Amino acid sequence: MPSPDLSILIIDENRIRASIIEEGLREAGYARVAVIHDVNEVGRTIASAMPDVIFIDLENPKRDTLEHFFSLSRAIQRPIAMFVDRSDGTMIEKAVEAGVSAYVVDGLKKERVKPILDMAISRFNAFSRLTRELEEARSALEERKIIDQAKGILMKTRGLSEPDAYALLRKTAMNQNRRLIDIAQSLITAANLLGP
């Protein structure tokens, strides 16, 4: 469950609609709520305030306005809930690609604000976790390739079996108090310097 200590920024040119979101958040126990009405100040405000969550409410969003907020969403890496009065499939797809955590079409009601906040945070966290796991898997795969290449060099130059080449890499890493991947990378670099 999100902490009531979250700082939340509401971006909305329409003061009445902004007050609906703000009221919904305050009734749900959130006290650190800021509102800006000038969309031109968005970048500067986000950079200075660094809110935990952002609510963006756009009555009749133009394509370029949406594109601007989507690029903002990619850059700030925060949960974003976006309310729009109307949309099309392309915009929804772009919102998801940009990392908008909750994209709500024609659904601005005070009592919906808290569940939407919860969903935005939950989806953002799930997406962040998946992204991190994907990065870790890619990194592990890359490290595996480097270690295999280093084993290949040892097998060829020292006439070792694959298990023996791996054991030598591990032993060297432990003796030098370094990571196995660093030893493997050093070996590859040295082999490249020494030539065929």
What sign does the dihedral 115-116-121-127 (CA atoms) show? positive
Residues 6+ apart with CB under 8 A from 115: none
Query: So what's the pLDDT on residue 2?
Result: 61
CA atoms within 13 A on the CB side of 78: 21
Q: How far apart are the first and last CA of the chain?
A: 59
Three-class SS of 92-142: HHHHHHCCCCEEEECCCCHHHHHHHHHHHHHHHHHHHHHHHHHHHHHHHHH
Query: So what's the pLDDT on residue 107?
Result: 67
Query: So what's the pLDDT on residue 149?
Result: 95
Neighbours of 59 (CB within 10 A): 13
Q: Which domains does the chain have, with CATH numbers?
A: 8-132 (3.40.50.2300), 134-194 (1.10.10.10)
Query: So what's the pLDDT on residue 42?
Result: 74
Query: So what's the pLDDT on residue 1?
Result: 56
Is the pTM for the entire model greater than 0.75? no
pLDDT tens sequence for the chain (196 residues): 566 688 998 888 888 888 888 998 989 889 889 888 877 777 777 777 788 888 888 776 666 777 777 777 777 788 888 888 777 777 777 777 777 788 777 767 788 788 888 888 888 888 889 889 999 999 999 999 999 999 999 999 999 999 999 999 999 999 999 999 999 999 999 998 887 6
